[in-house]
């Protein structure tokens, strides 16, 4: 419990994890702030009393605690007051991680229940391979999970969810929601100029671009617009020159590539457009690029890769010099990964989320192609599967985004967690299996209190 003093002044009351509350004007409490509540690292580490972890300097102990998976916070914050102050507030926890330059990736999966179509976000910690949730989006209950488009600005730890459609009325939305990882909360930001669903989206130089899609009268759009996340305002850009909804989109070499994708049967060649923000101009996509774009795309090593929904779900790469697609070396997508799936990438790794939220992690390797004068690459892939917990058996992915701004630093996460669990056992006595990392803990099982 915090120390308090009586005061007749109208000072606010701060309660752990809550926003400001007010009392009657006659008697108000002014909290003497604990040094752990002060964002200054020096004051936080100089807090008197018990050390964060016995036997370790506080700066080392803090570095260990900041590596704990989010799923372990509920049990960990019961160890002592200092742990509770650090782990009981999402904003404080992530602020400290950001200050220390942590950069591990987290995979945010926008999923829906296959029967009820109720939407939710699940997050996979790609260092500890544990799942946790984030708060629900503030939007209508009856929305079509496929019509939204999601983008992220990883350096800021921010997600944007745009557009969508009301499922019982086929009415596109101009809604724009922003999730801030550091604050663990959603906010509604300025709406798009045009309501749209099933459109293209991408981030170029920190600016968010959207184009095409379906309009309120269910016709395809040719309009496009851009959001400056700093100013929070949308501005129109050049029209696409053709009305089209988007099957997939990618950002390559500073340009937005938009394809409407194949439709069965293959009677008509798909359309594709390319936008250059430097000239504010659209041009037609190369024939080989749009005709071979038969799946979900990512950009790795400056090349466009596609997880093909045909060709036994092999991974292939586009060669701009020849305007052709080439299958890369390695096996096809593992059998556990079933359509529909969502694809994203970080550095040289590709993450494919399939039905039931099983995740295939593909390590992309490259070697110089022999016998050529120009620098050409041969690519290969090696797959690893991260099985999902049983409670995800009814979930289907709609989109996935990677955030890398608030992860871990250089010290081994597993080593730090060993020290922390030792302190947990010493400080709490006997923990049940869920709290100590047994069945259902660290594998995504059970529910998580996200404060």
Alpha helices in 66-102 (DSSP H): 73-76, 81-87, 90-99
pLDDT at 345 over 90: yes
**Token code pair at residue 257:** 């590539």
At 96 the pLDDT is 81
Average pLDDT over residues 259-266: 73
What value does the mean pLDDT take over residues 384-393? 93
The DSSP element (H or E) to which 65 belongs, if any, is helix 58-65
Q: DSSP character for 197?
A: B
Please give the Cα distance from 179 to 184 (Å, whole number): 7
Q: Kindly state the tokens that stand for 231.
A: 């100013």
What percent of the chain is predicted at pLDDT more than 70?
Answer: 76
Residues 404 and 154 sit within 8 Å (Cβ to Cβ): yes
Question: Stretch 183-193: mean pLDDT, rounded?
Answer: 93
**What is the secondary structure of 247-307 as a DSSP string?**
SEEEEETTEEEEE----SS--SPPPEEEEETTTTEEEEPPHHHHHH--EEEEEETTEEEEE
Q: What tokens were used for 51?
A: 């050390």
What domains lie within the chain, and their CATH numbers? 45-88 (1.20.1280), 105-404 (2.120.10.80)
Q: How many other β-carbons are positioned within 10 Å of the β-carbon of residue 89?
A: 18
Q: What is the pLDDT of residue 264?
A: 60
Chain position carrying tokens 């190369």? 286
Q: What confidence category does residue 155 fall into, taking pLDDT thresholds of 50, 70 and 90?
A: confident
The pLDDT of residue 289: 95
Local structure of 36: helix, strand or coil: helix
Instruction: At 197, list the tokens.
Output: 């669903």
Residue 276 to residue 227: CA distance in whole angstroms: 16
Which range in 21-35, 103-117, 288-302 is most confidently predicted, on average pLDDT?
288-302
Mean pLDDT of 278-299: 95
pLDDT value at residue 55:
86
Q: Is the pLDDT of residue 279 over 90?
A: yes
**pLDDT tens digits for 312-324?**
778 999 999 999 9
Task: Give per-residue pLDDT as tens, 404-436.
Answer: 755 433 333 344 444 444 444 444 333 333 333
Query: How big is the chain, counted in residues?
Result: 451
Distances from the Cα of 141 to the Cα of 30, 118, 137, 180, 194, angstroms: 41, 7, 10, 22, 21
Enumerate the β-bridge partners of residue 154.
none
- Report pTM: 0.75
Average pLDDT over the chain, rounded to an integer: 78
Q: How far apart are CA 445 and CA 448, in angstroms?
A: 9
CA separation for the pair 101, 256 (Å, rounded)? 30
Burial zone of 396 (CB within 10 Å; 0-12 exposed, 13-18 middle, 19+ buried): buried
The token pair at 160 is 């944007």
**What's the pLDDT tens digit per position in 48-102?**
567 888 888 888 888 888 888 887 888 888 888 888 888 887 777 877 877 777 7
The pLDDT value recorded for residue 236 is: 97
Q: Which residue has the higher pLDDT, 58 or 163?
A: 163
**What's the mean pLDDT in 282-305?**
94
């Amino acid at each position: 419990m915090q120390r308090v003093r009586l005061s007749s002044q109208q000072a606010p009351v701060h309660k752990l994890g809550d926003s400001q509350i007010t009392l009657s004007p006659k008697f108000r409490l002014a909290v003497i702030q604990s040094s752990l509540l002060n964002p200054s690292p020096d004051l936080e580490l100089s807090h008197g009393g018990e050390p964060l972890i016995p036997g370790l300097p506080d700066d080392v102990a803090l570095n260990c605690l900041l590596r704990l998976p989010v799923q372990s916070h509920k049990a960990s914050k019961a160890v002592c007051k200092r742990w509770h102050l650090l782990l009981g507030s999402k904003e404080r926890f992530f602020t400290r991680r950001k200050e220390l330059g942590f950069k591990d990736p987290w995979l945010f999966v926008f999923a829906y229940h296959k029967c009820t179509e109720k939407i939710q976000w699940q997050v996979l910690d790609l260092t500890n391979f544990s799942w946790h949730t984030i708060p629900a989006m503030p939007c209508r209950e009856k929305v079509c999970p496929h019509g939204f488009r999601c983008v992220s600005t990883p350096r800021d730890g921010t997600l944007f969810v745009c557009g969508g459609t009301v499922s019982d009325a086929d009415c596109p939305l101009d809604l724009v929601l922003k999730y801030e990882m550091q604050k663990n909360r959603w906010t509604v930001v300025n709406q798009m100029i045009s309501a749209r669903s099933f459109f293209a989206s991408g981030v170029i130089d920190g600016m968010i671009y959207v184009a095409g899609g379906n309009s309120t009268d269910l016709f395809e759009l040719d309009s496009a617009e851009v959001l400056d996340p700093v100013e929070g305002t949308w501005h129109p850009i050049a029209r696409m020159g053709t009305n089209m909804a988007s099957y997939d989109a990618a950002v390559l070499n500073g340009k937005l590539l938009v394809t409407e994708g194949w439709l069965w049967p293959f009677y008509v060649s798909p359309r594709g457009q390319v936008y250059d923000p430097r000239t504010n101009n659209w041009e037609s996509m190369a024939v080989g690029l749009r005709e071979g774009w038969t799946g979900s795309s990512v950009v790795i090593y400056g090349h466009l890769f596609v997880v093909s929904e045909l060709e036994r779900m092999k991974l292939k790469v586009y060669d701009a010099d020849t305007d052709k697609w080439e299958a890369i070396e390695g096996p096809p997508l593992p059998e556990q990964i079933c359509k529909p799936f969502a694809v994203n990438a970080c550095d040289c790794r590709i993450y494919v989320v399939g039905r039931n939220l099983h995740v295939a992690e593909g390590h992309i390797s490259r070697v110089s192609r022999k016998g050529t004068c120009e620098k050409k690459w041969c690519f290969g892939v090696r797959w690893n599967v991260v099985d999902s917990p049983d409670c995800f058996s009814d979930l289907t992915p709609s989109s996935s985004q990677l955030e890398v701004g608030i992860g871990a630093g250089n010290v081994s996460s597993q080593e730090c967690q060993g020290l922390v669990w030792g302190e947990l056992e010493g400080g709490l006595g006997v923990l049940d299996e869920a709290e100590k990392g047994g069945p259902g803990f660290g594998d995504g099982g059970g529910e998580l209190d996200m404060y």
